[in-house]
Amino acid sequence: MTEQGTRKIALYVLAAFVIGVVLTVGAFYLVPILPSQAQQESTSVQAPAVSVPVGSNVIPDIVQRTSPAVVLIETTAEKKTRLNYDPFFNDPFFREFFGGRLPFDSRTEVVRGMGSGFIISRDGYILTNEHVVSGADQIQVTIVGHDKPYKARIVGADHDLDLAVLKVDAGNNLPFLALGDSDKVRVGEWAIAIGNPHGLDHTVTVGVISAKGRPVSVQDRNYKNLLQTDASINPGNSGGPLLNLNGEVIGINTAVNAAAQGIGFAIPTSTVKPVLETLITKGKLLRPWLGVYIQSVTQDIASSLGLSKPEGVLITSLVEGGPAYKAGLEQYDVILEIDKQKISDTGALTAKVEKLQVGQKVNVLVFRNGKYLLVPVVIGDKNSNNQ
């Protein structure tokens, strides 16, 4: 072999060696960047553990297991209603002829209502909405597998939270539902609603949790912390359970936005659990209360009252016989502090009073007619005043 041929072979060997080194080093650095299939599977985002595959029996199994504890609640109440007379009969002179009233100008009418509830103990305690049974003269509960409805009595109720506990005497071996932890619920999780919408007993609807912590006002109730779901909720669902995929109650179906589709609300169990025992044992909740109607102080209000700046809350009126009324607070007083804690607006006052105890004595700093006054007030119970 010639010297030139030897050099060519040497160059080929050297080139092969260099290429091998480059490939080896490149592979070493590329492995972390381009993981194997096994590595990709171990590091990828996994589907939630609660996902339900197509054809799964999870939801039917939950419904079959929990439905017997869901009850139909029917109420009756007698109410006097005025008849719809011809305008001639409403003439005040004509009424005067009959001594200020018309003969047969009112009648007693039986008003019927319907809702849902669910059993929470083997001995027949039932949880529902307060608005389902409010004002009822008679309450009947229909339980799956029982021949006839049972008369129920209210053992505890709270208007503001819209919660009521009923009791039926139907033995000590009733099916019941467990209360889950709504704080652990995540938006997007499956939710199952069971109830009696429009009297169609044990109707099942399924959706997801759309949002948490929704504040909603319905008539004179101000709900502060509702679960929102797109599981269909209709009149008659009120008081029924909203379940998770463990078959636990995470909420009490309460309200629906009639102007929208797929927007229903439920009271979370985080609201129910802390008060349930008190409702059962004492029949009501103690609600700290001042008995005042208030509004925030604007610049115009501050100027008209002689305040140097907008601060505190203005008492627009007082409940006669309420704690503030008894203590001597007056209309147009401006509440500035409670026990030296500044009150900046209506929300701050409400939050402060809610943390107080019924019967607790507090010192309220008010501004009245250009003077600062310290007025002692004993916090009352709103529920006692409503009775």
Q: Which residues are catalytic?
A: 131, 162, 238
- The residues with which 190 forms a beta bridge, in sequence order, are 208
End-to-end distance of the chain based on CA atoms, in angstroms?
118
Burial track 27-51 (b if 16+ CB lie within 10 A, e otherwise) = eeeeeeeeeeeeeeeeeeeeeeeee
Q: What contacts 28, CB < 8 A, 6 or more positions away? A: none
Give the CA-trace dihedral at 263, 186, 182, 227, to 10 degrees.
-20
Task: Transcribe 160-191 into DSSP letters.
Answer: TTTEEEEEE-S-S------B--GGG--TT-EE
Tokens encoding 348: 């701050």
Sign of CA dihedral 191, 195, 200, 201: positive
Q: Distances from the Cα of 338 to the Cαs of 27, 138, 143, 306, 358, in angstroms?
A: 72, 44, 50, 21, 15
- The rounded distance, in Å, linking the Cα atoms of 362 and 375 is 8
> Among 159, 76, 157, which residue's Cα sits nearest to residue 113?
76
The half-sphere exposure of 226 on its side-chain side, counting CA atoms within 13 A, is 23
- The rounded distance, in Å, linking the Cα atoms of 328 and 318 is 10
CB count within 10 Å of CB 299 equals 10
- The rounded distance, in Å, linking the Cα atoms of 203 and 73 is 14
Amino acid of residue 42? S
- The rounded distance, in Å, linking the Cα atoms of 71 and 63 is 14
